Every structure is written in C-alpha cells, then in structure tokens.
C-alpha cells in the first residue's frame, strides 16, 4: 500500500485533469446505461400492437396497477417510466418511434463524447505522472556517486526508466479508470436489472464469489512473476547495451556469434517469463466470462419459461434484462484484470522507489561553502579509501601540492593512482582522513563550486553525439565561435576541425566515433582549455595514442598545464620529467616521493620503471 501511495503522489499534480476525467466517467456511465434502457420502449413500440399501446395511454391507472403487480422495489422508477411512455405514445406509434430513434442517437453521441474526453484527460494524467517519475529517476541517477554505477548494470538502470515506468502507467489507468468506470457501470446496470426483476438479478449475482476468488489468487501469483519478468528484460537490455558500446571489441575478436547466442539466451528467458505472466494474467478473464455466460444462459432458460407461462414480466422487459446482464460481462471482465495490473505496477514501483531511495553519498553538507578560487595548496591528510568496504585501495596518504606545481603519480597498475585523483573532485569520499583546499575540508565545499575549479582529461575521452562546438563548450554555457576556436588552437585541434565537412558544426557521433583517438583527446583538452580551471587532472591522457598523435596531444597538454596546479598520472615517464614532485604508489601506499633526479638516485620502484622504459 505504501508503494501505491507514493505513486499516487505523482498523480496529485494533475488533479484538475483527473477531476475532469472522473466527471466524464460518471457522465459516460450515465449515458451508456440510458442507451441500453432505451431499447426497452423501442421493443415495446415495435412488438406491441397499436391497440394495446393506445389502451395503456388512455388507461394509465390500469398501467400503474400492472406495474405494482410486478412487485417492483423501485416505485419512483415506475412513475418515471410511465411518464416517458405517455410522452412517447401520445402522438401515435410512428411518432413515438421517431422520437425514440432521435433520443438513441443523442444518447450514443453523448456517450461517445464523454468517453473520448475521459480518455484524453486520463491520458494527460497518466503521461504527465510518467514524465515526472522518469524525470525524478534521471535526476536522481545523475546525483548518485560513481560507486553506484560500478556495482549496477547500465541495462538494469535503463530498464527502470523505460519498462518499469510503463508498468506503473498501467497501474494508474487501472486505479482511476477501470476501478471507477467499471464499478459505476456495473452498479447502474445492476440497479436497472433489479428494477426489471430482482429475482433474476439475485440469480445472476451467484457468479461473484467464484470470480473474486480466482482474481485474488491470480493477483498474488502475478506480482512475483512480474518481478522476475522485469529482471529478465533488464538482462536483455544489459546485453544489448554492452554489445553496442563494445562493438569494436566484439568485431575485433570475431565474437559476433557468441554475442548473438548470449542475446538469444537472455531473449528466450524473457520470452518464457512473459508467457508465464500472460498465462496467469489472461486466466481470469475467460473464467469470469464463462461463469457469466452460464448465469446468462440459466437466466435465459428460466426467464423464458416464465415469459411463456405469462408470469413475471413482459417480453420487452425480459429482452432488456438480458441486454443488461450480458452488458455486465464486459466491465466485469475488465475489472477482473485490475488486480493483475495493480500487482504488476506495485512490483515495478518496488524497483523504481528502491532506486529513488538509494542514498546520494556525495552531496553538499548543511553549511557548505562556495569556493570561488584556489589560492594556496591541496593537502591529503592521512587519507584511506576502499570501494564498498572492501580491501583498502589507498592507505595513510599524506601529501600536499602548492598552487602552480605539477604533481606526477606513477606506479604499477592497481596501485591506486586513479583512485587518488578521483577523491579530489569528490567522485568518492575517503573512509578515513580528509582532503583540504586552502585549508577547507572539501566535504565542507559545495560540490558544484569544487568541480568548477577543475579540468579533467582522462584516457577514456567521453564525447557526445553533438557538434564539435557543443562538445568543446560542454557544461560551460554559451561561448562564441572565436573563443571555441582559440581553445581548439591551444589543443592542436583547430586544423583537423577546419578540414571537416561542416567545421565546428560537424556532428561527431556517439562517443565521438567519427574521430580518431588523438582527435578525441584533443577535443577533451580543448574543453579543459575553454573551462580555464586553476586545477588540472590528467589521467594517462596520452597512453593510448600513436606517436604522432601523442606528440600533438603532449604539446597541447604542456600549454594547458601552464600556470595551473596539475595532477598527472602517466605510465610513460618521459611525460613527467619536469614535474615538481613525483609520487610513487604501490598497493595504495606512497613508497617514494621527490623530483625525477632525486628518485633516479634512490633504489626502488621508480628507478626500476625508468630502467625498463629507457633500457635502449
């Protein structure tokens, strides 16, 4: 129930449209019932002889006595019925038929009109609520720390925003359309059926306990099966996402057949879960319909016997009663699916709100300070860090970097170099110790202002399916063409950009797939140049480039590093010879520190790495 109440909080933002939809539902059911009831006087006009109709009009007292003899439980309805019949028949049978035909057309038109308006207003509520849920999910996902994305599959996250939200949409429709419109229809149809014959109506209601038991059982089964189904579609989405993003590797290793077979396996597993859900979900409807048909046939036989013997009601009332009873089947059939749709929506809501309730680990403290500039130093004070409370990746890190200095980090793979620089912009927070900028703990600085002081260029360049201009100016607001070109020239990128078909307006494809590795890296550097940050983080920015591209990128990096405080991670020691300080990491600890010349004189990791790279 708690989950559904949370879903309904999104609906309340659209209460005017919801109210309009509910009013239209009421009017739709009213005119729908009136359309069915109008068939009774029509049948009477068609099948009763003219002499009998005239007799009923001229002798209303006898008509009233006949109605009383039917033992009706709705005397007011009887009076209204007599008044309508008198009005219809006062000008003769042909005129009565014309009046009734016009009334039926008007009733059907009004029924269709309010049915359309109800659908439109409810669609506004449903789609608006889904938009809000998707927006909240996307906003929350963007606020989560990197650790969440390391421990959760991208495909599963995408599945929450697409498939799970669609299931919740079905739940909203079930709650405010099916649970309102169909009970209203059923109630009005039953009242009219009771009016015509309360004895036959009680017989018809015998089917309800059996239908309720079946629907309750199916609802419990479906929630469990729906959860399994959504997990399977998340698996399918994950395989799809991984294959598309890694298509170059797939083709390089000729693994197309393997990936296809893996996708087929996940797709087949999803297929079986959908079949199971369909089998369970669709069981209620035919059973309810069959039970209703049995009751209807029983009424047809029993009532027919009464009509033939001249008891209970006239033929037109009996036919009208049958029309009402069989009209009950459709709303009852739709109502039987409500439990299943609600259970599916609740299962999807469990997953959605579990994601929305995931705590945002990296966020501003209550009295966070907005840092406008960097003046002094960056200091690590006894910093230790582990991913998800596993083995420590960094242990007891103590170091400081003055403004304008270049700090290089070297060491074997897995030593903790990237993790150390990831702590500076607060992609993660250390479990122990603290990091200070100008004497302020970075946890007491607003995240936006902290990261606004930093430019980051990594080995894996992230670009977007947009123009070159927009990729360079990403996240930096509006920059004119001259400023973007100036940054591109500093990054050695202006020449190849100018040679492209549409220059700076060329769209480079997803992740910059239309560019070479060196070109992508130079665009990332141009982005950092345009941002003009006082603090720069370079994480193996040239390690994956060919010689010519590396030379161009290295030149761009050297220009970028001028008058900035820079953290450089590099496997190639030739790129850090002029660093003010070099830190050597091993197994998360600082084992050596000093300048290039100082470290060459010390036996240890740095000397060994230098000898391996410069042996020739």
Per-run averaged pLDDT (10 residues), the chain, 616 residues: 80 88 88 74 56 48 45 55 62 68 85 89 88 89 82 80 82 75 77 73 66 58 62 73 68 73 81 74 65 67 65 65 70 69 80 88 86 90 85 90 90 87 90 92 91 83 84 78 86 86 85 80 83 85 60 74 84 76 90 87 83 69
Among 327, 356, 385, give the residue marking a domain's end: 356
Domain with residue 516: its CATH number is 3.40.50.300
Q: Are residues 427 and 520 in the same domain?
A: no
Do 68 and 22 sit in the same domain of this protein? Answer: yes
pTM of the predicted protein model: 0.70
pLDDT for res 69: 45
State the pLDDT at residue 443: 92
Q: Based on the domain organization, do 142 and 160 belong to the same domain?
A: yes
Q: Do the beta carbons of residue 450 and residue 363 sit within 8 Å?
A: no
Tell me, yes or no, whether 439 and 368 share the same domain.
yes
Query: How far is residue 344's CA from residue 360's CA, in Å, rounded to a whole number?
Result: 28
Q: The CATH number of the domain where 304 resides is what?
A: 1.20.1560.10
Residues 444 and 475 in one domain: no
DSSP assigned state of 466: S
Last residue within a domain, chosen from 532, 555, 576: 532
Same domain, 201 and 80: yes
Sign of the alpha-carbon dihedral angle for 591, 593, 596, 599: negative
Sequence-separated contacts (24+) of 100-103 with Cβ below 8 Å: 100/38, 100/41, 100/42, 100/45, 103/38
Instruction: Quote the pLDDT of residue 435.
Output: 94
**For helices 60-69 and 50-58, angle between their N-to-C axes, nearest 10 degrees:** 100
Same domain, 95 and 157: yes
Find, among 284, 291, 282, the residue nearest to 208 by Cα: 291
Q: Are residues 492 and 376 in the same domain?
A: no
Same domain, yes or no, for 57 and 144? yes
Distance CA 7, CA 337 (A): 19
Total count of domains within the chain: 3
Q: Which of 309, 337, 356 is the last residue of a domain?
A: 356
Q: Is residue 158 domain-shared with residue 24, that is, in the same domain?
A: yes
* Predicted pLDDT at 67: 46
Would you state the pLDDT for residue 57?
47
Same domain, 468 and 431: no
As to burial, measured by CB atoms within 10 angstroms (0-12 exposed, 13-18 middle, 19+ buried), residue 416 is buried
Q: What is the pLDDT of residue 455?
A: 85
Q: What confidence score (pLDDT) does residue 204 get?
A: 65
- Residue with tokens 């038929």, as numbered in its chain: 97
Q: Judge if 527 and 539 occupy the same domain.
A: no
Contact (Cβ atoms closer than 8 angstroms) between residue 362 and residue 241: no
Structural domain containing residue 283? 2-356
Q: How many CB atoms lie within 10 A of CB 313?
A: 18
* Cβ count within 10 A of residue 381: 16
């Amino acid at each position: 129930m708690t989950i559904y109440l949370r879903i309904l909080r999104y609906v309340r933002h659209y209460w005017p449209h919801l109210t309009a939809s509910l009013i239209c539902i009421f009017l739709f059911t009213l005119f729908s019932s009136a359309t069915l009831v109008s068939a009774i006087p029509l049948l009477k006009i068609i099948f009763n002889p003219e002499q009998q109709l005239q007799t009923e009009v001229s002798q209303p007292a006898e008509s009233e006595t006949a109605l009383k003899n039917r033992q009706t439980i709705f005397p007011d309805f009887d009076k209204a019925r007599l008044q309508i019949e008198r009005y219809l028949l006062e000008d003769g049978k042909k005129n009565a038929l014309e009046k009734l035909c016009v009334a039926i057309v008007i009733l059907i038109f009004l029924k269709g009109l309010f049915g359309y308006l109800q659908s439109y207003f409810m669609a506004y509520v449903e789609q608006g609520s889904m938009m809000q849920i998707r927006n909240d999910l996307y906003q929350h996902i963007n606020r989560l720390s990197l650790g969440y994305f390391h421990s959760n599959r991208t495909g599963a996250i995408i599945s929450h925003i697409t498939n799970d939200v669609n299931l919740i949409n079905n739940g909203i429709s079930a709650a405010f359309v099916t649970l309102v419109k169909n009970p209203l229809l059923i109630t009005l149809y039953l009242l009219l059926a009771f009016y015509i014959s309360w004895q036959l109506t009680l017989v018809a209601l015998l089917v309800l306990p059996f239908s309720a038991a079946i629907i309750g059982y199916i609802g419990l089964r479906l929630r469990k099966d729906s959860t399994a189904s959504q997990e399977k579609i998340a698996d399918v989405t994950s395989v799809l996402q991984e294959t598309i993003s890694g298509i170059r590797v797939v083709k390089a290793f000729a693994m197309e057949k393997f990936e296809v077979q893996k996708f087929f396996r996940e797709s087949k597993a999803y297929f079986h879960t959908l079949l199971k859900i369909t089998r369970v979900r669709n069981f209620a409807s035919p059973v309810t319909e069959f039970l209703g048909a049995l009751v209807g046939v029983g009424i047809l036989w029993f009532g027919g016997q009464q009509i033939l013997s001249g008891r209970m009601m006239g033929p037109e009332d009996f036919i009208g009663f049958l029309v009402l009873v069989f009209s009950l089947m459709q709303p009852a059939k739709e109502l039987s699916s409500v439990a299943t749709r609600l259970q599916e929506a609740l299962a999807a809501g469990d997953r959605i709100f579990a994601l929305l309730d995931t705590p945002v680990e990296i966020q501003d403290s209550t009295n966070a300070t907005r840092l406008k500039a960097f003046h002094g130093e960056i200091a690590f004070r006894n910093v230790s860090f582990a991913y998800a409370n596993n083995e420590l990746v960094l242990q007891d890190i103590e170091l400081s970097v003055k403004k304008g200095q270049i700090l290089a980090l070297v060491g074997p793979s897995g030593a903790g170099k990237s993790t150390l620089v990831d702590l500076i912009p607060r992609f993660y927070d250390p479990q122990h110790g603290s990091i200070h900028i100008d004497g302020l703990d970075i946890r007491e600085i607003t995240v936006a202002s902290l990261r606004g002081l930093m430019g980051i260029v990594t080995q894996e360049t992230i670009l977007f399916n947009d123009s070159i201009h927009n990729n360079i100016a990403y996240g930096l607001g509006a920059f004119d063409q001259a400023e973007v070109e100036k940054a591109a020239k500093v990054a050695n990128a202006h020449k190849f950009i100018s040679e492209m078909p549409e220059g700076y307006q060329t769209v480079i494809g997803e992740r910059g797939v239309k560019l070479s590795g060196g070109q992508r890296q130079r665009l990332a550097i141009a982005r950092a140049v345009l941002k003009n940050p006082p603090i720069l983080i370079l994480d193996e920015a040239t390690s994956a480039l060919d010689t010519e591209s590396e030379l161009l990128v290295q030149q761009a990096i050297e220009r970028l590093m001028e008058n900035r405080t820079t953290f450089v991670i590099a496997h190639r020691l030739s790129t850090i010879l002029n660093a003010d300080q070099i830190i050597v990491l091993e197994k998360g600890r600082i084992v050596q520190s000093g300048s290039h010349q100082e470290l060459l004189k010390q036996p240890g990791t740095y000397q060994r790495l230098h000898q391996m790279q410069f042996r020739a």
